[in-house]
């Protein structure tokens, strides 16, 4: 029984939150990696683009709520996401046309494009804050929990409860579907293959008759989809605050690089690597050991490797270590 309690404890406090957080990071990391692989620059506007997509979702959700449309037990935001995606794709293509295209055509060095993306970051951040303000926004409606901790305890008779929020299940579920579609698209369709070819060797791809404009356009479209869904899922699970989204850019970068930048599958796994290590290392295992160890050996301290203050620092340290020993990431990067 104690052993089961210990397992449930870990599930509740480590596994489910880490899987959710990892999914959110994974979507952002694939976004970063796609831009890096095909457009060849580090996009510092990632977090703010995600914030922008989420903001549009929230605005449309509010509109739906005001005219009385809802999805019952599911959050209304799910209905708003497709419309937000359309808007977001327009925004991405707009930015590309008026900002990034000039440097791409002139074959500017990647550093310059990264600087330009900082300009885009400032502007996007300003637009988001001017429209919706810097405050916390919660837009989750519908049923909050799938299993409540108390119900779980009553059902199983265990001491430890397992609480699963519907936003967590939705996040994991949607991420898996979206990522499977994306990998199917990249590996099986002709367009996807042309994108991979373009990422691998631009000149060869041009020689084989691949239209770079089309590849770039599709990249931005996918980026728009990923940014909106990734941002909206994060906002549904936690809450929407522009500053948090900007800060999330750092673990997202860490995930993308750990997985091997330019490699979507690596980025996908990188998200989970970062999320799990952050939570594993900063969790206090005292209660866990109380369950599995005999009473005489129970620990007196919290048995915490690092305090939760260092949550971000953990992922950054992992990144630094990976950069030192495997600069190409855990999975070889730079090939889509």
CB 116 within 8 A of CB 99: yes
Classify residue 78 by its DSSP letter.
H
Residue 32 CB, nearest approach to other proteins (Å)? 10
- Piece in contact with other proteins (CB under 8 A), picked from 158-166, 225-233, 265-273, 321-329: 321-329
Binder of other proteins out of 63, 73, 112, 155 (CB under 8 A):
112
Residues facing residue 240 across a β-bridge: 137
- Collapsed DSSP state (helix, strand, coil) of residue 189: coil
Q: Which is nearer to other proteins, 56 or 229 (CB)?
A: 56
Question: For residue 335, which of 275, 273, 259 has the smallest C-alpha distance?
Answer: 259
Considering only residues 218 through 247, tell me which ones interact with other proteins, judged by CB under 8 A: 246
Output the CA torsion sign for 53, 55, 61, 67: negative
Binder of other proteins out of 15, 83, 280, 312 (CB under 8 A):
312
139/119 Cα distance (integer angstroms): 29
Considering only residues 33 through 72, tell me which ones interact with other proteins, judged by CB under 8 A: 41-42, 44
Binder of other proteins out of 135, 155, 293, 320 (CB under 8 A):
320
Q: Which is nearer to other proteins, 126 or 204 (CB)?
A: 126
Question: For residue 266, which of 47, 35, 30 has the smallest C-alpha distance?
Answer: 30
CB 160 within 8 A of CB 8: yes
307 makes contact with other proteins (CB under 8 A) = yes
Binder of other proteins out of 10, 254, 258, 274 (CB under 8 A):
254
Considering only residues 260 through 289, tell me which ones interact with other proteins, judged by CB under 8 A: none
DSSP per position, 256-291: HHHT-TT-HHHHHHHHHHHHHHHHHHH---HHHHHH
CB 55 within 8 A of CB 134: no
Residue 85 CB, nearest approach to other proteins (Å)? 24
- Piece in contact with other proteins (CB under 8 A), picked from 16-24, 62-70, 116-124, 178-186: 116-124
- Entry field: residues in the chain: 336
Structure tokens at 188: 């099986």
186/205 Cα distance (integer angstroms): 15
Question: For residue 275, which of 20, 29, 50 has the smallest C-alpha distance?
Answer: 20
Considering only residues 120 through 139, tell me which ones interact with other proteins, judged by CB under 8 A: 120-127, 129-130, 133-134
- Piece in contact with other proteins (CB under 8 A), picked from 59-67, 109-117, 146-154, 158-166: 109-117
Q: Which is nearer to other proteins, 76 or 124 (CB)?
A: 124
Binder of other proteins out of 303, 316, 326, 330 (CB under 8 A):
316
Q: Which is nearer to other proteins, 27 or 128 (CB)?
A: 128
31/129 Cα distance (integer angstroms): 22
What is the contact surface with other proteins in residues (CB under 8 A)? 41-42, 44, 99, 102, 109-112, 114-116, 118-127, 129-130, 133-134, 246, 250, 253-254, 257, 301, 307, 309-310, 312-313, 316-317, 319-320, 323-325, 327
């Amino acid at each position: 029984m104690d052993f089961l309690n210990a397992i449930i404890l870990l599930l509740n406090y480590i596994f489910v939150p880490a899987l959710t957080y990892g999914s959110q990071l994974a979507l952002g990391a694939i976004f970063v990696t796609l831009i890096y692989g095909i457009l060849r620059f580090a996009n510092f506007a990632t977090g703010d683009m995600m914030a922008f997509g989420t903001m549009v979702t929230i605005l449309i959700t509010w509109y739906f709520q005001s005219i009385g449309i809802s999805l019952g037990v599911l959050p209304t935001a799910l209905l708003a996401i497709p419309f937000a995606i359309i808007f977001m794709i327009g925004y991405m293509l707009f930015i590309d046309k008026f900002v990034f295209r000039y440097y791409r055509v002139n074959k500017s060095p990647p550093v310059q494009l990264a600087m330009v993306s900082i300009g885009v970051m400032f502007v996007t951040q300003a637009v988001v804050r001017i429209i919706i303000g810097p405050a916390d926004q919660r837009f989750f409606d519908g049923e909050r929990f799938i299993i409540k901790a108390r119900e779980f305890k009553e059902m199983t008779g265990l001491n430890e409860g397992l609480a699963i929020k519907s936003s967590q299940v939705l996040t994991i579920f949607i991420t898996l579907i979206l990522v499977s579609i994306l990998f199917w698209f990249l590996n099986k369709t002709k367009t996807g293959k042309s994108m991979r070819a373009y990422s691998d060797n631009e000149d060869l791809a041009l020689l084989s008759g691949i239209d770079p404009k089309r590849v770039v356009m599709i990249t931005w479209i996918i980026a728009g989809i990923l940014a909106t869904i990734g941002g909206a899922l994060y906002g549904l699970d936690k809450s929407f605050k522009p500053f948090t989204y900007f800060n999330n850019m750092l673990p997202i970068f860490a995930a993308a690089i750990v997985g091997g930048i330019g490699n979507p599958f690596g980025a996908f796994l990188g998200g989970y690597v970062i999320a799990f290590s952050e939570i594993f290392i900063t969790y206090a295992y005292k209660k866990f050991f109380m369950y599995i160890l005999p009473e005489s050996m129970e620990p007196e301290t919290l048995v915490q490797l690092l305090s939760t203050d260092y949550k971000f620092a953990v992922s950054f340290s992992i990144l630094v270590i990976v950069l030192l020993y495997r600069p190409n990431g855990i999975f070889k990067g730079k090939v889509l």
